[in-house]
Amino acid sequence: MAEWTDAENRALTDDLTNALGARQVRTDGLERALYGRDSSTMEAEPSLVVLPRDASEVAAAVRITTGHGRPFVARGSGTGLAGGAVPLDGAVVIATSRMNRLLEVDVTGRLAWVEPGILNLDLSHQVAAHGLHFAPDPSSQQVCSLGGNVANNSGGPHCLAYGVTSAHILAVEVVLPDGSTVMLGGVTAEPSGYDLRGLFVGSEGTLGIATRVAVRLTPNPPTVRTLLLDFDDTDDGAATVSGIIAAGLVPAALEMMDRRAVEVVEAFAHAGYPTDAEAVLLVEVDGLGPGVQEAVDRIAEVARTNSVRTVRVAADEAERQALWRGRKNAFGAVARLEPDYYLHDTVVPRAALTRVLRRVYEIADNHGLKVINVFHAGDGNLHPILSYDSRISGMTEKVHRAGREIVEASLDAGGVLSGEHGIGLEKRDYMGLMFSADDLAEQDRVRSVFDPRRLSNPDKIIPGGSRCADAGWSAGTRAGEGAWV
Amino acid sequence: MGLRPHPPELEEFATLVGSEGPVGIAGGRTHFELGGELRPGTRTVSAPVGVVTHEPAEMTVRVRAGTPVTDLEEHLADGGQMVPLDPESPASTVGGVLAVGRSGIRRLGYGHVRDLVLEITYVNSEGKLIRAGGPTVKNVSGFDLCRLLVGSLGTLGFIAEVVLRCHPLPEVSRWFMSGTDPVELLSGLYRPVSILWDGTESHVLLEGAAADVEYQADRFDLTPVAGPPEVPREGRQSVRASQVADLQGHFVAEVGVGVVHRDIRTDPPPTEAPALHRAVKARLDPTGRLNPGREVVV
């Protein structure tokens, strides 16, 4: 860990306080501890926390912080699951939660300018009157910030049809690590230059801090139908997923839950899921009335050829909401199993879904761990969740070993490290499993253009460089109602 | 377990590019003067050719960059799928379309071509094969160098092979004409694939389930026509989607997208923060050996 002396900390605090005011700079132990972790199982301690109110305060905070040679970490709502917002090397946390305004809506152009702290679902609510919404919908959408979505290139159930965050970001105003401000991308159709906007999205705070974002808004579909399909055999559920895609249908969402997931979810959310099924699929189709009805019929047909037990189509909006309530609260329900959980995020080819799922059960059994699976089956995005009790000695280490084996099994099947949670700290040291030294050196070169001194969220994504001894595994991620996937 | 090795065809391409001296890359040469002329006397190479694997169940295709788009389209159609790269010319190659980074006239419906790219293997300025992105339809593993490469005109690296996201071939694909205000069409129609406006009338492309296309055509009183209008190729402007209604002169505008096609040459807009863009080029190609003379930053 970088050691900073009391005098150095005082000098930095004084400069920030003078520039931003005392209310914007937090140094007390409790607040530093709170901002030392996100929703992952990792934590560290920031030297202080800055809560800027606008872009100019972000720029000032970055300029002063890096002027002191000190790293900084941008933070939205702290819902990240890969440790991306954990402040290493005594970094200053710059939290954008106060910058949460919707600045401008262009209804004809279907775009909006927002500040990074605006919450994902708040944005959709605020543009709902125009018949528009922001399409990426991570399960944490009630609390996660748009800036965090940009940093992690977030997904969500509806990204199957609508694409992930990058496809919905037009421009980003960024404060670079030297404190200067640049605009990446633009709201016209073809801004000139390299697509630095695309590079910035998903860079997990290592290139700078977004202070304004232009987002694409999507028209609300006129008709939405949601189906619940349940199966006696997981293989039949997976075959239905592949069958739907092979039939040329692209549902708005295609989610799967295994038996253990259904049991805990139903006991918690009372969504009306059949608890004796081995697998449950939640399928949503949207669009125009005639096409939607046709798609619903064809999906039911595919399911029937794969021995579906029941096909339930939500009769009204209330029933539809109930079906989604189960899915979106799945991880709150996990609290019923054990006090802690560790959630994984990998993607595998759809054809390998059942094979990798079986391997996940095997891995969990071998380590004597409980695992449930609730995931974005349509795009092969697995979310195995291991529940455990961190108070039992050796348990946390066991969970992390199992996690690595799950990552390896996914890559073996032709998959990738992360579908939507990012690399952060959690998977940084796995990057070599997917990329060669040359690949990683190239990524690092690009990063160094923006941040030559490596002060913007240091030691994330790319392995190597300065080792950080100050990040520790925390006791675990407490399962509860505020848990998402 | 281990990294997938690069196939020999890609290794050979990397050797061909080499690590020293100026080198250019040519695809179908349909936009060969875009961003400036390749410095005279520069030797040029071409990317490997061929569709490697199309997996309809995964909705992905792995294809070599030198493959003509028409060949890819034929190959995918056999599996009931497509990749809407939609180049202007039949000579265009997959790698060429991506390096130019311009979407076709179906961008309103299918998004920008960059959003179709899942993985890119390219040769960097050191002559090394670099892989970025991943082969699955969803992936956030590391920096998104794929998007950096799309639209880079081969100035940061030469694309060798890509994995693209496929779409199902629509049940029907039909062009219509309408005299209705284009902005009204845009807000009224649900997910039109293209609206091309010439200042007087609009050509509308609807794709998808036959029942949906009929339903919308009836509702908006659209007249069936054989195909899209003649699109001028000389100039290409980029405006905010909401400014299309105010355009003057002779043009065909992509409503809801903001690309305006003109029959007179137009200058590209100046690049925002050009120094940062130039620094990316300088860092990835310090000697300026890749496609010298061609310039992305304005």
Q: Do B283 and A448 lie within an 8 Å CB cutoff?
A: yes
What percent of chain A is predicted at pLDDT more than 90? 85
Of B1, B56, B242, the CB nearest to A411: B1
Number of alpha carbons in the 13 Å side-chain half-sphere of residue A212: 21
Q: Is the pLDDT of residue B161 over 80?
A: yes
B124 in contact with chain A, both atoms CB, cutoff 8 A: yes
Of B3, B141, B209, the CB nearest to A417: B141
A460's tokens? 């994330």
C-alpha distances out from residue A316 to A195, A252, A287, A288, A320, Å: 43, 17, 16, 16, 6
Q: Do B241 and A448 lie within an 8 Å CB cutoff?
A: no
C-alpha to C-alpha distance for A38 and A145, rounded to whole angstroms: 13
User: At A468, is the pLDDT very low, low, confident or very high (cuts 50, 70, 90)?
Assistant: very low
Domain ranges of chain A: 223-332, 337-412
CATH number attached to the domain at B8-168+272-284 = 3.30.465.10
Phi, psi of A477, rounded to the nearest 5 degrees: -95, 115
Mean pLDDT of B188-215: 97
Interface of B with A in 134-163 (CB under 8 A): 134-148, 150-152, 156
Q: What integer pLDDT is reported at residue A377 of this predicted model?
A: 95
A441's tokens? 């050196």
User: At B2, is the pLDDT very low, low, confident or very high (cuts 50, 70, 90)?
Assistant: low
Mean pLDDT of B264-290: 96
Q: Is the pLDDT of residue A481 over 60?
A: no
Q: Is the pLDDT of residue B107 over 80?
A: yes
Q: What integer pLDDT is reported at residue A478 of this predicted model?
A: 46
A363-388 pLDDT, tens digit per residue, is 999 999 999 999 999 999 999 999 99
Q: What integer pLDDT is reported at residue A184 of this predicted model?
A: 98
> ipTM above 0.90?
yes
Q: Is the pLDDT of residue A135 over 60?
A: yes
Interface of B with A in 232-291 (CB under 8 A): 236, 238-242, 245, 254, 256-259, 268-274, 276-277, 279-281, 283-284
DSSP track, A122-176: HHHHHHGGGTEE-----TTTTT-BHHHHHHHT---TTHHHH--GGGGEEEEEEE-
Within 10 angstroms of residue A98's Cβ, the number of other Cβ atoms is 14
User: At A480, is the pLDDT very low, low, confident or very high (cuts 50, 70, 90)?
Assistant: very low
CATH class of segment(s) A223-332:
alpha beta
C-alpha to C-alpha distance for B31 and B99, rounded to whole angstroms: 10
Q: What integer pLDDT is reported at residue A472 of this predicted model?
A: 58
Q: Is A202 exposed, middle or buried (0-12, 13-18, 19+ CB in 10 A)?
A: buried
Q: What mean pLDDT is reported for chain A?
A: 92
Q: What integer pLDDT is reported at residue A469 of this predicted model?
A: 36
Fold: same for A223-332 and A337-412 = yes
Q: Which residue carries 């695809």 as its tokens?
A: B27
Chosen from B114, B140, B244, B296 to mutate, greatest number of chain A CBs within 10 A: B140
Q: Is the pLDDT of residue A111 over 80?
A: yes
Closest-CA distance, B162 to chain A, in angstroms, reads 15
- From chain B, the residues in CB contact with A422 under 8 A are 140
Closest-CA distance, A88 to chain B, in angstroms, reads 19
Beta-sheet pairing, A223-231 with A169-175: unpaired
C-alpha distances out from residue A62 to A273, B83, B134, Å: 49, 43, 33
C-alpha to C-alpha distance for A402 and A396, rounded to whole angstroms: 10
Angle at A290 between CA A285 and CA A294, to 5 degrees: 60
Output Rg (C-alpha) for chain B, integer angstroms: 20
C-alpha to C-alpha distance for A57 and A19, rounded to whole angstroms: 8
B56 in contact with chain A, both atoms CB, cutoff 8 A: yes
Q: Which of A283, A157, A303, A296 is nearest to A240 (CA)?
A: A303
Q: Is the pLDDT of residue B270 over 70?
A: yes
User: At A473, is the pLDDT very low, low, confident or very high (cuts 50, 70, 90)?
Assistant: low
Of B138, B191, B298, the CB nearest to A159: B138
User: At A466, is the pLDDT very low, low, confident or very high (cuts 50, 70, 90)?
Assistant: very low
Closest-CA distance, A235 to chain B, in angstroms, reads 16
Q: What integer pLDDT is reported at residue B206 of this predicted model?
A: 98
C-alpha to C-alpha distance for A116 and A401, rounded to whole angstroms: 35
User: At A458, is the pLDDT very low, low, confident or very high (cuts 50, 70, 90)?
Assistant: very high
Mean pLDDT of B32-36: 95
Q: Is the pLDDT of residue A483 over 50?
A: no
Pair A386, A402: CB distance under 8 Å: yes
- From chain B, the residues in CB contact with A418 under 8 A are 139-141
Q: What mean pLDDT is reported for chain B?
A: 96
C-alpha to C-alpha distance for A333 and A342, rounded to whole angstroms: 14
Mean pLDDT of A423-428: 94
Q: What integer pLDDT is reported at residue A335 of this predicted model?
A: 74
Q: Which of B76, B74, B99, B85 is nearest to B24 (CA)?
A: B99
Closest-CA distance, B195 to chain A, in angstroms, reads 14
User: At A2, is the pLDDT very low, low, confident or very high (cuts 50, 70, 90)?
Assistant: low
Lowest mean pLDDT among A218-222, A320-324, B2-6, B106-110: B2-6
**Residue A42 pairs with which residues in a beta bridge?**
A473
Q: Is the pLDDT of residue A470 over 70?
A: no
CATH topology of domain A337-412: Alpha-Beta Plaits (3.30.70)
